Structure 1
């Protein structure tokens, strides 16, 4: 009968006898079926967005510190507005730029140790303190060592935040909006970058660093006072009543029955995780976990080898080297603005277009942008040609690069990391994955200058472009679509128990 209904239904009349009346014609006889509609819980998603945005103020602070070097290094390399009273060496500039990703490679290990012991919320709060200490050190600086320590501390905080924040947001979000909320990390990070790009060049060194302090302080107060802990962690800790209250607050409801089904699913997931608590080595004993680990690491490695940290840390210097007609700080602000707009677009598109499509579009766009930029520097540096008439080209290349990066490889790898791993290995797997990402970021940032001296900027940007092409192939061949899937459905896909098509058919 089910098949006959599907083939011969010709009318549906809503609102009769407590449900929808569907009419079918079977063997020339009319059949009416009353379909009772399940009442949806009276919940709202508004507070989920509020909670995710408040948590992502930590991501805003990450963006501030990631973009901090762009306006500050030019000041330290001259005597104007230089708090040290002496020009820093090229080697010191390299360490100031690279110590943040080095610290970020260590931060995830702190995150993994703390997030399961004291919770996602308190880990984010404690992880915000190194930002404050680092910015205070900048204000007090009398030697380059202050900056080196500051950058390392801020790096630890960045690594911790980028590990725990996707985990927290992934656990508080409903399946239908998890992808959109996951991209907020990229959006808020780009807002922080734009803050550094826009404020840093036009204020004194001290004023800029004082302004930077405002955001982490606001985060500490608002996140501590108003936002609940992850219900998943509360269930792991055995606090069922607190988990229920947190979920009700996140779903904007005062009725327990509105969250009962979701809470029961969480309990089941947590019970399985606690019964099958795994170590890092156990990841490679399970097909699905191994696949998840390879995919999450692969996406984040390709994110770094696309050259993003070079663009962000040294944007102003790149424009200076390219001889762009506009003031380098103006070009940098334009880049930051484009980042924000593109990141906002990603939040809207991710659940409509899917993660795979946006990642492939991102990889192709970045590859083209890097290749054209490599060609520009080939003409300028390698062949010594006059490129004055092409001074607009580096701006277009970096704008195109930033747009496509923010649409895909910027936000999506972190969102994928937050949903790929089940609860029993999420902390240890996320720790190792984030550490790998930032270690690659450190290597690229620290040694970019050396490599560029050997093969030139044209060769360096050409290598980044090739890496983007390989990233496209990686996504196309290996990454399944996870948009709109529950955490359990994602695990089924990774373990080969169900294909994406099968899952959709089961839903229908």
Structure 2
């Protein structure tokens, strides 16, 4: 661990505690709903109530995401993350007191609301406080801890009683609050709102053992970048229409769409069928455990590789693995009806294909797209862009319904071949459109998207003049 960046690693640990808490509490339903079915809970929770409980999830995520976009630019990244821990704690109080279905609805609403906040702001915060050469790895490390928290809930939830889990679960959000409270605010945000001295102080903390001259140089570059970016409009209309953001919009929305259509939900819905086809003696519930464990392990591997081999390479291999594994599943089900006995004897191939799909998807597409979403947009529209992308991601729900309708009309094999082709198109899109952002500063990424090899002397003079005008306006206002 580099001494000069020690606080950056400490902050990563703090944010990881928060994301693991989000994974822990938002996976509560996986072991606990089963306890209702087995009459191990304190009250009844029927199928209709369970369905309504799960329908709250996308609503809570959507509202939390939009709310995060509003307070993140108004009160800061750190304050927003702290707000999420408080909301999660209130949800945990309802869990401990739960004696009726409506209390679980409130709990789920508050928990998913807090998850929407953390999922939106966490990446933005990490991108703004971590150095370029470790930004991708540390950001992905915090995301993989979400799945670690999910795995903990699955393992612990199966061994403790319903009431014991509910009484003690509030410890997780309280621990997150304690972890997030001492971390520094993003210097980018502080400069954005005109708190120059505080921004310099926080930057010095994040680079604690770097020489004063180097900090001064870095701070001036950051201040110049913030001033330049904040000169541009932050309206939603300008965001979607301005040519300056067009390439970033195409890349990020394209990757988001390919992820939605990658087939993750379709494959997960086939777990029981694939276990039967492969004659694999495995409880379907254990398949869920394997799924989460793969996300944890491969998420950590992705974090270790992303700043070494790059975003593009991991995404390309991810698309290759997804397309080949889905093609194998399509081929199997396509010929099964004609060569039933011979094909079923190698049904384990479908299980292997599913494992490869989960590994490939977790290695790149499911995680790296979120790092890229934050890196490609300038400060004045960064929060708006991330919120818009997450709201756009909500299209996954109606699209999954459409996939089921397509399966009913055209057959399962047609769905699989379509998903395989989509992954191939994702590979082509990534290869020709996505630039590599590995080890590049946020400033360098913006220059790359604009096609600038460097900033001209004249532009630097203009920027300095804008900086002075911006500073005078803040002081006088």
TM-score, normalised by the number of residues in structure 2: 0.83
In the alignment, which of 423, 432, 442 is matched to residue 397 of structure 2?
Answer: 442
Q: SS where residue 208 of structure 2 aligns?
A: coil
In the alignment, which of 52, 55, 59 is matched to residue 102 of structure 1?
Answer: 59
Which structure has greater helix proportion? 2
Offset of residue 310 of structure 1: 6.3
Alignment of 1:288-303 (within 5 A): 288-303=244-259
Structure 1 residues 350 and 248, CA gap change in structure 2 (3 angstroms) = same
CA contact (8 A) 1:182 1:415 kept: yes
Q: Distance in 2 between matches of 1:445 and 1:83?
A: 34
Q: SS where residue 378 of structure 2 aligns?
A: coil
Structure 1 residues 373 and 49, CA gap change in structure 2 (3 angstroms) = farther
CA contact (8 A) 1:101 1:441 kept: no
Alignment of 1:43-58 (within 5 A): 44-58=4-18
- For 1:123, the equivalent position in structure 2 comes to 80
Which structure has greater strand proportion? 1
Q: Distance in 2 between matches of 1:385 and 1:94?
A: 39
- For 1:477, the equivalent position in structure 2 comes to 432
Q: Distance in 2 between matches of 1:66 and 1:157?
A: 10
Offset of residue 118 of structure 1: 0.4
Structure 1 residues 398 and 131, CA gap change in structure 2 (3 angstroms) = farther
Q: Distance in 2 between matches of 1:141 and 1:460?
A: 42
Offset of residue 305 of structure 1: 2.5
- For 2:293, the equivalent position in structure 1 comes to 337
Structure 1 residues 408 and 122, CA gap change in structure 2 (3 angstroms) = same
Structure 1 residues 142 and 60, CA gap change in structure 2 (3 angstroms) = same
Alignment of 1:94-493 (within 5 A): 94-210=51-167, 212-224=169-181, 226-253=182-209, 256-308=212-264, 324-373=280-329, 392-393=348-349, 395-437=351-393, 439-443=394-398, 463-493=418-448
Q: Distance in 1 between matches of 2:401 and 2:97?
A: 25
Q: Distance in 2 between matches of 1:180 and 1:282?
A: 32
CA contact (8 A) 1:71 1:316 kept: no
Q: SS where residue 410 of structure 1 aligns?
A: helix
Q: Highest CA radius of gyration, 1 or 2? A: 1
Q: Deviations over 1:200-223 (max 9, x none)?
A: 333333334455433322111121
Offset of residue 472 of structure 1: 1.9
RMSD across aligned C-alpha pairs, in angstroms? 3.3
Structure 1 residues 172 and 477, CA gap change in structure 2 (3 angstroms) = same
Structure 1 residues 107 and 177, CA gap change in structure 2 (3 angstroms) = same
Q: Deviations over 1:51-101 (max 9, x none)?
A: 02211322213323554444344444x234245425414xx5554445323
Offset of residue 464 of structure 1: 4.1
Q: Distance in 2 between matches of 1:50 and 1:356?
A: 28
Structure 1 residues 498 and 108, CA gap change in structure 2 (3 angstroms) = farther
Q: Distance in 1 between matches of 2:27 and 2:338?
A: 29
TM-score, normalised by the number of residues in structure 1: 0.78
- For 1:79, the equivalent position in structure 2 comes to 38
Offset of residue 309 of structure 1: 5.3
CA contact (8 A) 2:16 2:143 kept: no
- For 2:24, the equivalent position in structure 1 comes to 64
- For 2:47, the equivalent position in structure 1 comes to 88
Q: Distance in 2 between matches of 1:306 and 1:162?
A: 20
Structure 1 residues 138 and 275, CA gap change in structure 2 (3 angstroms) = same
Quick check: 164-173 or 177-186, which moved more?
177-186
CA contact (8 A) 2:336 2:344 kept: no
Offset of residue 368 of structure 1: 2.7
Offset of residue 445 of structure 1: 6.1
Offset of residue 279 of structure 1: 1.0
Q: Distance in 1 between matches of 2:33 and 2:272?
A: 9
Structure 1 residues 394 and 198, CA gap change in structure 2 (3 angstroms) = farther
CA contact (8 A) 1:106 1:435 kept: no
CA contact (8 A) 2:45 2:101 kept: no
Aligned length: 452
CA contact (8 A) 1:99 1:442 kept: no
CA contact (8 A) 1:371 1:465 kept: yes
